[in-house]
Amino acid sequence: MSGVTIGVLAVQGDVAENIMATKMAIEELGLDGIVTEVKTPEQISDLDGLVIPGGESTVIGTLSLVNGSLKKIKEKIASGMPVFGICAGMIMLSKKAKDRVVGEMDQPLLDFLDVKIERNAFGRQKDSFESEISMDKIGINKFQGVFIRAPSIIDAGKDVEILSKFNEKIIAVKQGNIIGTAFHPELTGDLSLHKYFVSLIKAKH
Amino acid sequence: MIPLSGDLGDTKGVIKEKIGSFSTTRGTSTLKRGFAHMLKNGVVMDVTTVEQAQIAEDAGAVAVMVLDKLPSDVRKAGGVARTASIRIIQEIMDSVTIPVMAKCRIGHVYEAMVLQETNVDMIDESEVLTPADENHHIWKWDFTSPFVNGARNLGEALRRIEEGAAMIRTKGEPGTGNVAEAVIHIKNVNTELRRIKSIYDAGDEQDLISVARELKVSYSVVEETASLGRLPVVNFAAGGISTPADAAYLMTLGCDGVFVGSGIFKADDAKERAQAIVLATTFWEDPDKVKEAQKMIDERQSMLGLDTKNLELRMQERGSTA
């Protein structure tokens, strides 16, 4: 069997960190695979899995719409491709988003994850924080959560599995082959979540 | 993972507190530098009003920088340039969802404190404003909010990082509409990085120590930077960017993103130009897309700009020796 091809959406945000974390995850699992930056619909169509990194969701959404990537990502997710959305990436995957201060948002979203997101749910940058959290359901008991102007989930549909909460706020979810986190595993050096994502892709491949 | 070179650990800006049953920490280097990492490949736009901030957000800006006057107007007005009105910063924070930054004067610790209390997402200790202390920059480790600083060369950049800057931008020559100085500064930094990387690769510690002395920065910061072969924090281009092609060119030189000051809102086609510069920054590797972006602007509507050789005020020299 040939190796897996995993893309990191490279429109805007912390792309390089996710490429490195995913590469290291593949290596630690002893698998074959390549990890690549993707920007165009053509590049996306070849993927077995996709990471949508942290950044600004309005920017990532607007620009993926412009060059047709958004449509291609939708097709791929609909056909079952596993996808991992981090912070802005989780917002992108959701059906609905509002901002804590500005209110309801009309921004381009992928419309898959059956949740309503509150953007900047913990406040502005000064309120960004690190804290130890856990995701027992997927076997990760201890994880350093790095929350940067992080969103949270205020409503989750019945097919959405809640993986983690911080002080009653939902911060990590899974729905089928879609994973979303409000925090940034790629900034921590802990590969367990990226490894979990790679194993989902491997199982599907 | 992000590099944490020069990190001082539990400084005054790091705050530990309990939220519910969770122990949390704010103001760490990971959070400050991590914030800057989320801006990568984006465009930060200078704005002076709520309307401009909304145009910037709609165009795809990754953040806005609030000023009282755009840099070219600072030049024209003369006098002392200070931090923007808190009321306007607050109004802008209430009307856009992207991060809001604001500038304080070099060395003006209390202007920075006021901006931190206002809750701006990042503070720019900027040469565009009149310096309050030419000999000492702010000791940024004392703050929970992250800072960005300007630099013309590697020494300046590393000294600012040693003081706690979470992000660096080239100084360029603000408010001139002329990208030439920004190009020189990024090339200076790149050349010096290549030099220290080669010293590091050769294993010549003695030479690396002389580099630290020459750059007036501690050995550990030089060593870690040399091992990485790039700045340990996110590095944006700034100063004089006016067109999509300007932005794309700076991206080819290895910048992580761009700040655009007067270039957008001093042009007569601000809205189209803002969108075009975002497109060119995102798709800089694709000349056809940059051409399409360049087509969206009208050169007759660009800001006139200034020749940087005959300026009375060279903002880039402010705070450069400290």
Distance from CA of A105 to the nearest CA of B (A): 9
The reply to whether A143 falls in a domain is yes
Residues of chain A with pLDDT under 70: 1
Gyration radius of chain A's alpha carbons? 15
- Please report residues of B whose CB lies closer than 8 A to that of A120: 97
At B225 the pLDDT is 97
- What φ, ψ does residue B40 adopt, rounded to 5°? -55, 145
Strand B234-236 to B167-170 pairing = parallel
Q: Does residue B103 have an active-site annotation?
A: yes
- Pair B5, B231: CB distance under 8 Å: no
At A32 the pLDDT is 94
Interface contact A132-B22, CB threshold 8 A: yes
Task: Kindly give, in sequence order, each residue whose CB lies less than 8 Å from that of residue B294, ignoring residues fewer than 6 positions away.
Answer: B243, B244, B245, B276, B280
Homologous superfamily, domain B31-298:
Aldolase class I (3.20.20.70)
Q: Give ipTM to 2 decimals.
A: 0.97
The reply to whether A205 falls in a domain is no
CATH number at residue A152: 3.40.50.880
Q: What is the dihedral of CA B194, B196, B201, B203, to 10 degrees?
A: 160
> Quick check: B126 pLDDT over 80?
yes
Interface contact A187-B57, CB threshold 8 A: no
B232-268 pLDDT, tens digit per residue, is 999 999 999 999 999 999 999 999 999 998 889 999 9
Number of domains in chain A: 1
B159-184 pLDDT, tens digit per residue, is 999 999 999 999 988 889 899 999 99
- Please report residues of B whose CB lies closer than 8 A to that of A119: 97
> Quick check: B49 pLDDT over 60?
yes
- With a pLDDT cut of 90, the percent of chain B lying above it is 82
At B5 the pLDDT is 85
How far, CA to CA in Å, does B65 sit from each of A49, A132, B74, B154, B247? 36, 33, 15, 24, 17
What is the DSSP annotation of B88-115? HHHHHHHH-SS-EEEEEETT-HHHHHHH
Mutate to test the interface with B, among A59, A86, A90, A152 (most CBs of B within 10 A): A59
The pLDDT of B304-321, averaged and rounded, is: 84
> Quick check: B4 pLDDT over 60?
yes
Give the type of residue at A200: L
- Pair B132, B156: CB distance under 8 Å: no
What is the DSSP annotation of A19-43? HHHHHHHHHHTT--EEEEEE-SHHH
The reply to whether A135 falls in a domain is yes
Range of the domain at A152: 4-200
Q: Which residue did the predictor score with more confidence, B304 or B313?
A: B313
At A170 the pLDDT is 98
At B3 the pLDDT is 87
Does the annotation list B257 as a binding residue?
no
At B320 the pLDDT is 87
How does the average pLDDT of chain B come out, rounded? 95
The residue annotated as part of the active site, out of B12, B18, B76, B103, is B103
